[in-house]
Amino acid sequence: MSKIPVKDISKEPEMVSLYKKREKIYVREIHGLFQKLRSVSLWLLMLGYFGTPWLNLGERQAVLFDLPARQFHIWGMTFWPQDFMLLSWILIICAFGLFTITNLAGRVWCGYTCPQSAWSFIFMWIEERTEGTRNQRIKLDKAPNSIEKIRKKALKHTMWLVVAAWTGITFVGYFAPIRELVPDFFMFDISAWAFFWIGFFTVATYINAGWMREQVCIYMCPYARFQSVMYDSDTLAVSYDPNRGEPRGKRSKNKAKAAEQEALGDCVDCSMCVQVCPTGIDIRDGLQYQCIGCALCIDACDDIMEKLDKPKGLIRYTTENELAGGKIHLMRPRLFGYSAAVFAMMGMLAFTIYDRTPFQLDIERDRGRLYQMTVNDTVQNSYTLKLINMSQEPKSYSLSVEGLDGLNIIGKTDFDLDVNQLKEVSINLEIDPEVTKTKASKTNIEFIISETATGEEITREESRFIAPRS
């Protein structure tokens, strides 16, 4: 008679911390195809980030978010808070774009273009140049304090702080003219808010890219947690091929062990894939949420395979289906749906910006009184108009009103607006009460703005005219 297996559950459950104390990762420098691709993307990103604020279009910075004036200048176009919906569209497109690229090729965004990864790689490059190779850095940290050790550490942290400070200055340079900000910063003649934000981003960059690094990706970034929702069996991901690599083992020149060597897979258990990983994982353990898809392990493994005269690709971008002996299916319903949604939204956004009216008219009716009777026995309504010229050249506009026959405008009807100028004007609309006797007490009317030079209608906005019925 067999016994039922029993498990002792009387002991207290072991507490597992959700946060593990950071163990410093010593990343080995490696060269290869994917390292070169990331270097190119990194240089392009850095050139774009640090160089864009210094570009001018005419007399103004090409990209400038002028918060006090509530104007956002982006490559010759000016956007206002009224265009906030466009920002929502852009964020939705970015989200769906991330879904699309993740479903296609995993976390390539993290490995090649994420700011956290980009600045971390810059700081690691500085660390490599100031403290030496991976083994030299390990020995340096274990060695007692000395003048040489302090010199190397001080040089590294100084260079980190310089990059972090320039990152903070550049960020603020998107919100204040950078050609004025930089000399004012070194002359200590900037506002308290500018100084605060420069300091904030300096500290944030120094800590995130210099000290926390992979901790940000593992514990702070939500993308690492929900990425698996967008994966499927045909998603390209950095993967180890166990069919080819196992059983792993070191190679020996001992002829007596030749038979044992023949039974081994291609993996020689050199741990190079672990040494080059910026998050410190072993890709041979399978797909892990800590993997940022940087493909450094592919470069390292390919280098070893080449030296052993074996085919490359033991670690490669591949799919779950292919590892199981199937085929790669690039086009599938989910990927097609994501891609179609992204391209459709990009098309609509482009059309909206192209068809965007470079003028904004806001109408506010006087809420203090419904209407007033004048000494001439006419009915008047008061309105406040806010006119914004969002084009890049001065314009002249004319105002007219439709909706009630005999409605007269009391006030100025021609307006000259400079580039990006907002003008607030007050007008009255007047009508003979006999005209409104056959109308409802509230009549819809339309304010029409036309360009004076061409007579072309620019925009029209609806409001109401209120009058007594008898």
Q: Within this chain, do residues 363 and 348 fall inside the same structural domain, yes or no?
A: no
What is residue 156's predicted lDDT score, i.e. its pLDDT?
97
pLDDT band at 223 (very low <50, low <70, confident <90, very high): confident
> Does 275 reside within a domain?
yes
Residue 397 has what pLDDT? 94
Q: What is the pLDDT of residue 353?
A: 86
Q: Which of 307, 336, 356 is the last residue of a domain?
A: 356
Q: How confident is the model over 409-420, as pLDDT tens digits?
A: 998 899 999 988
| 373 and 321 co-located in one domain | no
Residues 228 and 363 reside in one and the same domain: no
* 375 and 346 in a common domain: no
Q: Which of 308, 305, 326, 307 is nearest to 316 (CA)?
A: 305
Q: Quote the radius of gyration of the chain (alpha carbons, Å).
A: 33
Q: Is residue 12 part of a domain?
A: no
Is 403 domain-assigned? yes
Same domain, 325 and 218: yes
d(CA 335, CA 190) in angstroms, rounded, equals: 49
pLDDT at residue 11, rounded to an integer: 54
Where a domain ends, among 312, 338, 356? 356
Question: What domain count does the chain have?
Answer: 2
Based on the domain organization, do 366 and 295 belong to the same domain? no
∠37-158-22 over CA atoms, to 5°?
Answer: 70
- A 10 A CB-CB count for 82 gives 12
Q: What is the predicted pLDDT for the residue at 284?
A: 94
Say whether both 29 and 93 belong to one domain: yes
Q: Please tell me whether residues 447 and 391 are part of one structural domain.
A: yes
pLDDT at 198 over 80: yes
pLDDT value at position 2?
A: 45
What integer is the mean pLDDT of 47-66? 93
CA distance 391 to 255: 81
Specify the pLDDT at position 1: 47
Residue 3 is assigned to a structural domain of this protein? no
Same domain, 391 and 314: no
Task: Compute the distance between CA of residue 360 and CA of residue 417 in angstroms, rounded to an integer.
Answer: 12
CATH number assigned to the domain comprising residue 395? 2.60.40.10
Q: Which domain holds residue 444?
A: 359-466
Q: Which domain-ending residue is among 356, 374, 394?
A: 356
What is the value of pTM for the model shown? Answer: 0.81
Asked if residue 154 belongs to a domain, the reply is yes
For residues 186 and 320, membership in a common domain is answered with yes
38 inside domain: yes
What count of residues does the chain have?
470
Percent of the chain at pLDDT > 90 equals 60
Are 236 and 364 in the same domain?
no
One-letter amino acid at 176 equals A
Q: Based on the domain organization, do 363 and 352 belong to the same domain?
A: no
What tokens appear for 93 in the block? 């497109």
